[in-house]
Amino acid sequence: MGKSKVKKKCCRSKPRCARCPVTALLKARAKALKKEEKAAKAARKAAKKAA
């Protein structure tokens, strides 16, 4: 997938635009958290299957 281009400064618009660095960082954090939860769930499932 292509990376989204993020502005260096915020335009301070309300609501924040999609290219705003604050919005982009929040989306990236949420995506990383979701990926981490999925990996943890898979690890629990593998441990349960091994037991």
Mean pLDDT of all residues in 22-45: 91
Per the listing, tokens 């091994």 go with 50
Residue 46, phi-psi category: left (phi > 0), alpha (psi -120 to 50), beta (remainder) = alpha
Tell me how long the chain is. Answer: 51
Q: Please state the pTM of the whole predicted model.
A: 0.60
CB atoms within 10 A of CB 26: 12
One-letter amino acid of 32: A
One-letter amino acid of 48: K
Q: What is the pLDDT of residues 3-31, one digit of tens each?
A: 767 777 777 788 888 778 888 888 889 99
Return the domain boundaries, the chain.
Answer: 16-51
